[in-house]
Amino acid sequence: MKLIFEKSVSGRGCSILPPCDVESASLPYGLERQNPPALPEMSETDVSRHYSELCRQVHGVNCGFYPLGSCTMKYNPRIDEELAALPGFTDVHPLTPAEDAAGCMEVLALAKRYLCEISGMADMTFQPAAGAHGEFTGVLLIKQYHDARGDKARTKIIVPDSAHGTNPATAAMCGYQVVNIPSAPDGCVDLDALQKVLGPDTAGLMLTNPNTVGLFDRNILEITRMVHEAGGLCYYDGANLNAVMGIVRPGDMGFDCIHMNLHKTFATPHGGGGPGAGAVGCKEFLRAYLPQSSLMQEPGHLQVRAFCGNFLVVVKALAYLMMLGAEGVPQAAENAVLNANYLMQRIKGTFRPAFDRICMHEFVLDLSEFKKQTGVSALDVAKSLIDYGMHPPTMYFPLIVHEALMLEPTETEGKQTLDDAAEVFRSLYALAHSDPERMHKAPHNTPIGRPDEVRAARNPIVRYVPA
Ligand SMILES: *Cc1c(COP(=O)(O)O)cnc(C)c1O
């Protein structure tokens, strides 16, 4: 597809602005540009077609199956977008006094009440704009707690090797030393390995449960008890609450604070750079350290973002929760788990699950044996799925599984989609044995097939330089 600049024809254009009917003013000297900007010259029809074509090239959950593990790419009901677009929510100025924005304050209070109920926490802030930002905020609560007690010896945060990369990054950014512990063969926390690293220097543990291989850690009560006994606190990475919401509460598992990605589990689309909300909840004893959302900061009080964070994301979360209700929330979780297990069972005859036991909302395939036999890698399979109109699963994560593909179908897919996807996996398994070369070159139907990902990330070309 051509760039819009390449489609430009000198002299072409569309006049959509009416003639200026106010006196024109000139900019101060030095601020005016010397040359007119090199904008593309196109007709309105061509502009419209150009962007529609770009839009068609993007795969979203509204185009097809999107089983991107650990990302919860579920269908988000349009009604939530409509409610968040109401002028009473979109037009309110952040400096409006609370008494003049009573409706918005009620949204925040009600969303907080429901999400505290779901997570088993006492209080919550909506300031953080993402999951990683929420982790940062949550670990700062832990740090403030130890500092306030004069406990300066606690310099380490324990993170299992299956953790999402943001966990060790967060601990390091908060000034902690990261202690990695290996997982047990069943993919869960190795209690002996944990016991060995616990001590008077333990500030806390960061954990996801279900963990990143999609398994619920059966020893969770023992794990949090051990950390508390050593004087540390327990942080729950609740980025994906899809498997447990309304079923089991992180607070009851023994966690002291948590973040939840409203932009994964609670009706805001994830990806594309936001906006998101990493709601951070905590138990009563950490409440005093939460960021304050008012502008009148008490000196020394934590603030991680202006005002109340991405308010409209909270509106969507509340609309979603009110729509589902107390019965619908656990039902969604049950269906997410059912769908993941169904798909895993359907695929199991061909590709091998990394852990062959009942999974939660997602599961991981281990393609290392398959690669040895066929020479076809997890990357080749992921790329081949694109030709079938499916978004690839998460690849090469978690790091503890080699040649990993991680699938999270979510609760919003029907049986037909899952059956179709299983059929695609079956065909690719066969193709890998009959024509592996074709899979090394996939995808075959996209404008770009295999970009140099490192170069694309390190040296992105985002600016068109006219010839
Ligand atoms: C997505 C995710 C995060 C980070 O969330 P962002 O909003 O992308 O910063 C952290 N932990 C886990 C387990 C996740 O899946």
Chain segment 213-223, per-residue pLDDT in tens: 999 999 999 99
Q: Given this model, what pLDDT does residue 297 score?
A: 54
For residue 40, whether the previous peptide bond is cis, meaning omega lies within 30 degrees of 0, is no
Ligand 1 center to 72 CA (angstroms) = 10
Q: What is the pLDDT of residue 298?
A: 61
Pocket test for ligand 1, best of 126, 137, 237, 258 (most atoms within 8 A of CB): 237
Q: Note the pLDDT of residue 318.
A: 98
Positive or negative: CA dihedral 47, 50, 52, 58: negative
Position 269 scores a pLDDT of: 87
At 13 the pLDDT is 87
420 phi and psi angles, rounded to 5 deg = -60, -45
Q: What is the pLDDT of residue 227?
A: 98
Residue to mutate, 236, 261, 280, 397, ligand 1, most ligand atoms under 8 Å from C-beta? 261
Atom of ligand 1 at shortest distance to CA of 208? 13
239 C-alpha to ligand 1 centroid (Å): 5
For ligand 1, atom 8, the nearest C-alpha belongs to 131
Q: Which residues of the chain, if any, have pLDDT below 50?
A: none
Distances from the Cα of 347 to the Cα of 76, 337, 421, angstroms: 26, 16, 9
Q: CB within 8 A of 411, min separation 6: which ones?
A: 74, 242, 332, 333, 334, 335, 336, 338, 339
Residues 271-322 pLDDT 10s:
766 799 999 999 999 999 999 765 555 667 788 998 889 999 999 999 999 9
pLDDT at 293: 60
Q: What is the pLDDT of residue 130?
A: 95
Report pLDDT for 57.
Answer: 87
Domains and CATH numbers, the chain: 78-322 (3.40.640.10), 327-444 (3.90.1150.10)
Which residues have CB under 6 Å of ligand 1? 70, 130-132, 164, 166, 208, 237, 239-240, 261, 276, 278
Please state whether beta strands 278-282 and 123-125 pair in parallel, antiparallel, or not at all (unpaired). antiparallel
To test ligand 1's pocket by mutation, which of 71, 162, 166, 213 has the most ligand atoms within 8 angstroms of CB?
166
Written as six digits, the tokens of 136 are: 């940062």
Rounded CA Rg of the chain: 25
Residues with Cβ within 8 Å of residue 395, at least 6 apart in sequence: 378, 379, 382, 404, 405, 406
pLDDT the model gives residue 160: 95
Q: Taking the alpha carbons of 351, 355, 356, 357 in that order, is the dihedral positive or negative?
A: negative
For residue 272, the CA-to-ligand 1 centroid distance in Å is 14
Judge if pTM exceeds 0.75: yes
